[in-house]
Amino acid sequence: MAQNKRGNREELIKERQGLIKELPGWKDILRGSVLTYFLPCGKKGCRCKSDKDSLHGPYYYISVSEKGKTRMYLLGRKRKEAVYAVARYNDMIKKLYRICGINLRLLLARKEEDERKEKD
Ligand SMILES: [Zn+2]
């Protein structure tokens, strides 16, 4: 049982080291969602008013939640860079959650060991 726990602990530490190594840098991250829209224009008599297939676009936006409000920013040619940065952010968050999960398990396991030692 103790062997099993130690083995599990070592596995968790190894997994955590791997995750830390894989963490992308902070420099190129963006939080938000990249969205694509086809929109009508303001021109009088334009086909886009009556024909959905004649809508203008695609227009690329990034949607970002800031202080409880969702804001949209036009990306244009920066779309590719934004998609990449959002993917990096999401990957980073996923890894941070996993690292925190591992840290919690390690912390709780250590507490049990300490308590056992105190009883002896
Ligand atoms: Zn139009």
Distance from Cα 54 to the centre of ligand 1, integer Å: 7
Distance from Cα 110 to the centre of ligand 1, integer Å: 65
pLDDT of amino acid 112: 65
Judge whether residue 119 has pLDDT over 50. Answer: yes
Judge whether residue 1 has pLDDT over 50. Answer: no
Q: Which residues surround ligand 1, an ion (CB under 5 A)?
A: 41, 46, 48
pLDDT digits (tens, 9 = 90+) for 22-44: 887 888 899 999 999 999 999 99
Report pTM: 0.76
pLDDT of amino acid 94: 95
Distance from Cα 72 to the centre of ligand 1, integer Å: 21
Residues 113, 115: Cα–Cα separation, whole Å: 5
Q: Which long-range contacts (CB under 8 A, 24 or more apart) does 39-48 make?
A: none
What is the CB neighbour count within 10 angstroms for residue 82? 19
Contact by Cβ (8 Å): 53, 80: no
pLDDT of amino acid 2: 47
SS3 state of residue 63: strand
28 phi/psi in degrees, rounded to 5: -105, 50
Distance from Cα 38 to the centre of ligand 1, integer Å: 10
Judge whether residue 3 has pLDDT over 60. Answer: no
| Lookup result for tokens 């886009």 | 48
pLDDT digits (tens, 9 = 90+) for 62-108: 999 999 999 999 999 999 999 999 999 999 999 999 999 999 999 99
